[in-house]
Structure formats: C-alpha cells, structure tokens
Chain A
Amino acid sequence: MEIRIQGVSKYYFSGGKTIKALDNVDLTIPANQIFTLLGPSGCGKTTLLRCIVGLEAPDTGEISIGDEVVWSKEKNINVPTEKRGLGMVFQTYAIWPHMNVFDNVAYPLQIRNVPRDVIRQRVAKTLSFVHLEGMEKRPATKLSGGQQQRVALARALVAEPKVILFDEPLSNLDAKLREETRKELRTFLGKLKITAVYVTHDRVEALALSDTIAIMREGRIIEVGDPKKIYFDANHRFVADFIGRANLVKATVRAHDGDHTVVDCGLGTIACQRRDIPTGSEATLCIRPEFIRIARGKAGGKNVVNGRVESLIFIGEAYEVEIRVGDELLLAKIDPDVDLKVGNTVNFSLDPAHCLLVSI
C-alpha cells in the first residue's frame, strides 16, 4: 500500500527551545517496495516512522496509508495505532518476556479473534518462513539475539499487514550476525508483496536492503532515490558525503561540453558528469576513493592528475593511500598488489562518470 505524507511537522519543547523533529515533510512511499529512511541520529527518521504507525501525533499535516487517511490535523482525524493494521519490528524487538515464542507470534491473531486452529496453522507457517520451525514452546527470552529478531519479524508478518515498519532492527546485533540477518531480511521481504519502511543510520544496511532510500537531516527529507542514484549520482553534498567515503573538492564550473561539465579545481581542470549548473558558479566535486585508479606507467585519456603518496595504510583487502595534489589531500583505495612507497610520484586518471558535482 502506498503511504502519503503531506506537510507533516512535529515539534518538541525542551529547555525553552522549540526543536523541529520533523519540518514540513512531504513524502510518498510507493507500494510494495523496501523504502529506507536514512540519516544521522536525531534527524527525525524514527519520529517519522512513529508518526506513520501512530505512536506519535504530528503537529501539522496529513498521513494516509492506502486510501485511508490515518492522521489529519485539519480534518481532525487520528486513527489509533491499534486500528491502523500495520506490522512493526522494534529496535529492542519488544519480545514479551512472559510469553513463549508461539504466544508472541500468535498475539496479533488472538487479538483479531481468529479461530484457534487457524492461529496454530498460521503461526507454524510464519515461523517456518523465518526459519524458526519447532521453536513454538521455547520461552522467548531464551533465544539468541538473531532468533529474537526473527520472532519479532514473524510477529509483524503473521497478520499479513500491507505495511511493515522497521525501526533500526539490526542495531542490537553484533557485526557478523548483522550482515547475515540483513541478507535474510532482504530474502524474506523479497518473497512478500509488502510495503516495508525501514529506518536506519547505517548506510551499508540502507544500500544493501533498499529499493528506495530517503536521506533525512534535521527533520527534512534531503534526497530520495534508488541506492545507485544516491551513491553515484547524489545532488547534495551532504548526501554524497553521508552515503559513503568521499573526497570533496571545491570547484568552479567552467564550461559544458557535450556529456560533461568541466570544472576548475585544486586538481586542475576536470571533466565531470554533466550537471545543469551555470558556468562560473561554485560547486563541490565528489570523488569516491575506489574510483581513483593509479595507472602503471604513463596514464592517458581524460582527467589525468599527478600527485605524491603521502601515507600508505594496508587494511587487508586494499591499500588506503593519501595522495597529495597541490593543496588537496585525496584518499584513494587501491589494489594491494600495486607496488607503492611513501614519497612516490603517481599518475591517476578519473573517469568523468565517477566525478560527481554536487551543490555546495
């Protein structure tokens, strides 16, 4: 189901100051996608999620889920949480410690007065879907973190809601388990026709899981797009910087030349992906470390830059190299088999497709 958010603001008052947790947010979350709200802590992403589910009431605006308006300041509509028919996985999982696995998962069905034998069937089906078959009688608190997480997912799915919400569900797992669970979650959600809204501050999680990502900052949506667009093709400096490691270089637009926009910067004259920025204006050139390719011998073609290796750190799968070019210090990630020493002079080329211009 599609979720439409229009003009939603939410204010907090603390210490005599007004904090805008949500600042006039307009957002449409398309149906049957995994949609991620990504941003640093305090950007309002969890508040937005809690407004959708109804655990918090916005101060302005309107929220509708499918055809139903669930919140409207103007029309004075506020459908209580329990009537919105959603599923949610909490950051703490919120597994009820006084119930076993079966009761935790069966709860939404029991509330809806589903007949007992149907409950049994559907709980069994859902548990096997999340690979927890046969765990019904286990006390929920005796499960591992990953298993608890899947119980929470099963509970959110069992009543077959049209929308499921995730509030940083992986942040309590350790790094290895987090990676595994992320893959599993992707598989589970891929099999279902369901709209999933996913809140996280972890960019890798967002890139790996999402169909669409919305980047938030200080209560506002900055940019919305699919993971590749956000990573390679961001419009905002904040987004480019937040979604991955990036070298950000001040630049001035010189000319537009076919597919490229040409800029002057500390690296010299560089041809970039075309952007409609007026000639002469300031912009930021964004280059990801993995796209700085050190050429063996003399490099040819466009965007060749000379620099000097200032530091070299071996991190296993690659070298992290700092390269000094004039006043700029660039971070590059290069193959571990390249023979380099500190003080070496290097040539590298920059593919214009990976030279991204973002607004200041």
Chain B
Amino acid sequence: MVQTRSKLTLSLILIVGVLTLGPVVMLLLGSFSKGLTAFGSFTLEKYIEAYTDPAFYEVIVNTIVFVLGSSILATGLALFLAYLNNRTDIPFKFLFKIISILPMMIPHLLFAVSWALLLNPSNGMMNMVLKNVLGLESAPFNIYSLSGMVMVEGLLDMPVSYLIIAPAMASFDVALEESSRVFGAGTWRTLVRVTLPVLRPAILAAFILGLVRGLASFAVPSVLGMPGRVNVLSTYLYQMIATGFAPDYGKAAAIGMSVLVTSITLIIVYRALTAESEKYVTIAGRGYRPTVIELKAAKIPLFTVVGLLSLILIVLPVTVLFYTSLVPYSMVPSARAFSLMSWKHWIEVVQDPISLLSLKNSLFLGVVGATLGVLLSIFVAYVIVKVKTRASGVLESLSFLSFSFPGIVIGVGFMWFFVQTPLYATIWALLIGYIATYLPYGIRPLASAFVQVHAHLEESSLVCGASPLTTMRRIIIPLLIPGIVSAWILMASMFVRELTLSVVLSRPGTEVLAVQILRFADDGLWGRLSALGIIMIFISTTLVVLATLIGGKLKAVESEA
C-alpha cells in the first residue's frame, strides 16, 4: 500500500515536473541559444540584443502602468462591491454572484473586441453617438490607448479579485470593529485602523493576483494596444515571434525569462499572503452576523452603479457582438441599420474552411484536453490531499507553479521544446501545452473535493464488506463527481477560448477559435469576428450546461441503485 502510493507520487512528480518545469528549462536554454535550429549553442547575444534595444524601455514603462493600473482598478472595484454585498442592505444581491462568475462566460478577447467596437476613435459606436449628440469635431474617447487598456483589463480582472476579497469580508468578525468603537474610535478611524488592516492580506493577495494576470494578459493589449502602437511585454514578445520575416525565438526567450521570474516571484508572495489571510479568517469569531449598514439615501445611486457594472460586464459585450454580426459594416444602431441586417457574416463564417477547422480543433481540445487534464488532476489532487509526505508537498508546489505562467512566455518555452519533437505543429502540441498551463485549475476543485471525502466514509464502506474497488466505485467517485464536473467545466471552457498559448503554438492546420478571431480582428473583419465570437460563447456555455446535466444524472443513478 505504502509502496504503491510512493510510486504513484513519484511518477506524478515526474509527469507534472516535465509538464511545468520542462518549458521553463527549455525557455532558459533557448534564451542562451542562437536560434530554434541552433539549439544548445551557448551565446549571450540574445540577452544583450533584447535588453539594449531602446524600444524595450518604452515597453517596460507601458507594462508597469498597464499592470499597476489595471490591478488597482480591479482591486478597488472588488473591494467596493464586496463591501456593498456583505455589509450593506443593497437590493438584488444575486447580481454580485453573477458578476463573480462572469469570467467563465465571456472570453477576454471578445470583451476587448466589444469595447473596441464601442470606443475606437474612427467608427466606435459610442464615439459616433457622442460626436453627433455633442456636436464634436473628433471622437471623445480613444480605446486604443494605455488608459483604455487599463480600464478594460481592470474590469476583466475584477471578478477574480472579488472572489478573493468577498469571503474575507464575509467572515470578518464585526466584534473587532465594535470594540474599536467602544474604545472611542469613530467610523473612519475604525475603518482605517481596524477593518482595512485585518482585511489587508486578502486585499494584497487580490492586488498581486491582479498584477500576475495583467502581466500575462495578451487579449487586451493585442486588441486594444497594438492598433495604437502601445506595446506591453506580452505584445512586444508576440511581435518578435509572429510578425516580420525572421521570428526571433531566442530574443523572445531572453525577455520571457524576466517576465517569468517576475511572475513566479509575485505568485510566491501571493501564496504567502493567502496563507496569512486564512490565518486571519480563522481567528475571527463564529456565529456573528455582520451588522448590516443601512444605505438610506445612498441606496439608489449605489445600486445604479452596481447595475451599470453588471450591464457593462455582461449585457453590453454580448449585445454589441451580436449586433455587429448582423449589420453589414460598423454603424450606429438606427432604423437603417436594422433594415440592413442579415445573416451574411454568419453564412461566411460557416462557409470559411479555416473557421470551421478552428471550431473543430477547439472543440477537440476542449473535450479531449479537459478529460485528460481532469484525469491527471484526479491523481495529483489525491496525492496532495491524502498522501501527506514530503514528496506530495513537492508535487503541490510543482502543480501550483503554472498558476504564475504567462501563457505567451510559456508558449515560447514550449516552442523550443516541440521544435525538437515530431509533435511540432500538431494539435497534440496544443493539447499538452494547455494541460500543462491550466493544470492548477483542474487540481483546485478536485483537491477541495478530496478534502470533503472524510476517511471515515471510505473506511465504513470497507467495514461494511465492500472491497477497495467497490468502495472506489460506489463511495469515492460519486462523492467526487461534483468536483470532477466543476474541474472539467473550468478546464473545457478555458481550453475552448484559449488564446495566449495558442498564438505561439498554433500553425496552419492547427488554428483554434481564439486565434482565428484574432486574425479577423487584424483584418478588420468585425462582422465575421462577432459571428464566430458568439459561436464561441455559445460553445462554452453549452459545455457548462452539458457537464452540469451529466453530473446531475450520475448522481441520480447512484441514488436509485
């Protein structure tokens, strides 16, 4: 028993190690090589070239502004929403739940595109309307700017920050605040001296995760930054390998190394902080219901803000995309626009062989990739939760590492690897890359599912006379099904819309949906882009619904048996 377990642990460390450390090592080796074909011949050339380029420093400044700005915006918004939801009598609290699960539904790429359609300086719909109404000479807003990127990225990262801050806020022991009041501190003093310091680990964790996500973000900078020539590290890297005549993977690796090191450092800080915030939470008393603050006159305006946010985050992007997919070219909604509507773009997309191929590839990657990914995650989660040895600790750290991987950088690492193998330019390269990069998203829900399966539930089945195999089939697996289903949904919907890794690894023949959408954006084919985008949203939503139904069915079968 013990022996098979340690064998399992070791082989998992090997698999996960190759998947997560492999591309990092290849990136490192690649950054010291002359080129993809001259792998292994040591040179410092690429580092010197990359870091002495004057353009690089402008990129660094842009990146810092973009990453800090979007993370501050996301954390601030999340704090505001979490406070409203947990501590005030604001109506329609279900809206907060919707806002917090939004990232499952609308891909970042499409969200960014919808804002480009609304606020681009030449024919953005909202710009046109404002120009007409206010009688302006030029468009009032330009989304193709650093501030536009910060706003869109901030909105996109807000739900994740909310998911970190809201639970901390909910478990906050109000007695801490009350005792501060008793000792004579006013509301403001209490907020500054007690409330915010106690919540600090959670707020900082949300902020740092925002930084990591901003650093890794490619969708927003590529859609909103590149047209206005505002480059950040991820797009700078992308241009090095995807445009021009001679893609330079060596230089890309050299720059990628510093992005990766920054990102890993941030994730380590993040982990330390979340461990600390959990400690704070456990200190908080139980059974206290937070006192609800009556908003009174502020209720309606504050609620309007929340309503507006949900509108901006959910309704607007889908509506804009759908509208754009029907009108022949960019135009402000009007009677004429409605009279010109047709399914033209949809028909074009359905007849476009590359779009169809990308659809097929994405579906394959979503279904097969998520299934294999979940399978691997089950074993890894089992070892992490149930086998508590030093080796399983190593496995946990390994599997957490890829949380910090910026897709485009790790894509360059994989590129260095796959070029040496027959996997290069096949769909399997994408599959392996996806699983490696998104493994933590499969492990997390499964690990918490395993935690819930108390050892006694397993043992009592043995005592009842069931063999270990029967116990697995009738007790453990059914109890894990909710975890398995949510891990599968999470992975599949991420794979279907995956962009950052795919732009590096995808080759003619292995196009995927997001890459094809990006290509439409580059060519300015907004109508087709929107049609394909809606199809993509539809697929990920269907996957979610399907997986939920199957999960429910399996449960029902078990209770009938």
Contact B470 A94, beta carbon cutoff 8 Å: no
Complexed CA–CA distance, A93 and B454 (Å): 11
Contact A82 B456, beta carbon cutoff 8 Å: no
Complexed CA–CA distance, A103 and B474 (Å): 11
Tally chain A residues at the interface, Cβ within 8 Å: 32
**A355 on interface, CB distance cutoff 8 Å:** no
Query: In chain B, residues 473-528, which have Cβ atoms closer than 8 Å to a Cβ of chain A?
Result: 474-475, 478-479, 481
Q: B459, B468, B474: which contacts A94 (Cβ < 8 A)?
A: B459
Residues in chain B near residue A90, CB distance under 8 A: 456, 459-460
Assess A87 versus B466: contact at CB under 8 Å? Given A94-B456, A97-B479: no
Residues in chain B near residue A143, CB distance under 8 A: none
Selected interface stretch from B109-117, B215-223, B553-561: B553-561
Complexed CA–CA distance, A155 and B464 (Å): 8
Complexed CA–CA distance, A359 and B465 (Å): 45
Contact A108 B559, beta carbon cutoff 8 Å: no
Residues in chain B near residue A181, CB distance under 8 A: none
**Main DSSP-derived SS at the B contact region:** helix
Complexed CA–CA distance, A275 and B225 (Å): 95
Contact A96 B475, beta carbon cutoff 8 Å: yes
Q: Mark A107-118, 1 if CB is under 8 A from B, else 0.
A: 110011000000
Contact B478 A107, beta carbon cutoff 8 Å: no
Assess A111 versus B463: contact at CB under 8 Å? Given A90-B456, A96-B475, A98-B559: no
Residues in chain A near residue B481, CB distance under 8 A: 98
Contact A98 B558, beta carbon cutoff 8 Å: yes
Q: A55, A98, A99, A103: which contacts B459 (Cβ < 8 A)?
A: A55
Complexed CA–CA distance, A81 and B459 (Å): 9
**B462 on interface, CB distance cutoff 8 Å:** yes
Q: B459, B464, B479, B555: which contacts A108 (Cβ < 8 A)?
A: B464
Contact B478 A159, beta carbon cutoff 8 Å: no
Complexed CA–CA distance, A117 and B550 (Å): 30
Contact A111 B479, beta carbon cutoff 8 Å: no
Contact B465 A99, beta carbon cutoff 8 Å: no
Contact A99 B463, beta carbon cutoff 8 Å: no
Assess A98 versus B479: contact at CB under 8 Å? Given A88-B460, A91-B456: yes
Who on chain A is nearest to B467 by CB?
A82
Contact A99 B454, beta carbon cutoff 8 Å: no
Complexed CA–CA distance, A154 and B559 (Å): 18
Residues in chain B near residue A53, CB distance under 8 A: 463
Contact B456 A99, beta carbon cutoff 8 Å: no
Contact A111 B465, beta carbon cutoff 8 Å: yes
Tally chain B residues at the interface, Cβ within 8 Å: 23
**A32 on interface, CB distance cutoff 8 Å:** no
**A247 on interface, CB distance cutoff 8 Å:** no
Contact B454 A94, beta carbon cutoff 8 Å: yes
Report the minimum CB–CB distance from A98 to chain B (whole Å): 5
**A196 on interface, CB distance cutoff 8 Å:** no
Residues in chain A near residue B467, CB distance under 8 A: 82
Most buried by A among B462, B463, B468, B475: B463
Most buried by A among B465, B479, B558: B465
Complexed CA–CA distance, A107 and B456 (Å): 15
Residues in chain A near residue B474, CB distance under 8 A: 107
Complexed CA–CA distance, A159 and B464 (Å): 8
**B457 on interface, CB distance cutoff 8 Å:** yes
Contact A85 B465, beta carbon cutoff 8 Å: yes
**B6 on interface, CB distance cutoff 8 Å:** no
**A269 on interface, CB distance cutoff 8 Å:** no
Complexed CA–CA distance, A112 and B454 (Å): 24
**B461 on interface, CB distance cutoff 8 Å:** yes
Report the minimum CB–CB distance from A164 to chain B (whole Å): 10
Who on chain A is nearest to B474 by CB?
A107
Report the minimum CB–CB distance from A265 to chain B (whole Å): 48
**A100 on interface, CB distance cutoff 8 Å:** yes
Q: Mark A145-180, 1 if CB is under 8 A from B, else 0.
A: 000000010011001000001000000000000000
Contact B478 A98, beta carbon cutoff 8 Å: yes
Contact B479 A96, beta carbon cutoff 8 Å: yes
Assess A107 versus B479: contact at CB under 8 Å? Given A82-B467, A91-B456: no
Who on chain A is nearest to B479 by CB?
A98
Q: A80, A84, A94, A155: which contacts B457 (Cβ < 8 A)?
A: A94
Complexed CA–CA distance, A81 and B558 (Å): 24
Residues in chain B near residue A55, CB distance under 8 A: 459, 462-463
Residues in chain A near residue B478, CB distance under 8 A: 98
Complexed CA–CA distance, A243 and B341 (Å): 87
Residues on B lying within 8 angstroms of A by beta carbon are: 454, 456-457, 459-468, 470, 474-475, 478-479, 481, 555, 558-559, 561
Closest 4 CB pairs of A and B: A94-B456, A94-B460, A108-B464, A81-B462
Other than A53-B463, A55-B463, A82-B465, give 9 A-B pairs with Cβ distance below 8 A. A54-B462, A55-B462, A82-B467, A84-B463, A88-B463, A107-B464, A108-B464, A111-B470, A156-B463
- The 13 listed contacts between A and B (C-beta, < 8 Å) are A55-B462, A81-B462, A82-B463, A82-B464, A82-B468, A87-B463, A91-B456, A94-B454, A96-B461, A96-B475, A98-B559, A111-B470, A112-B465
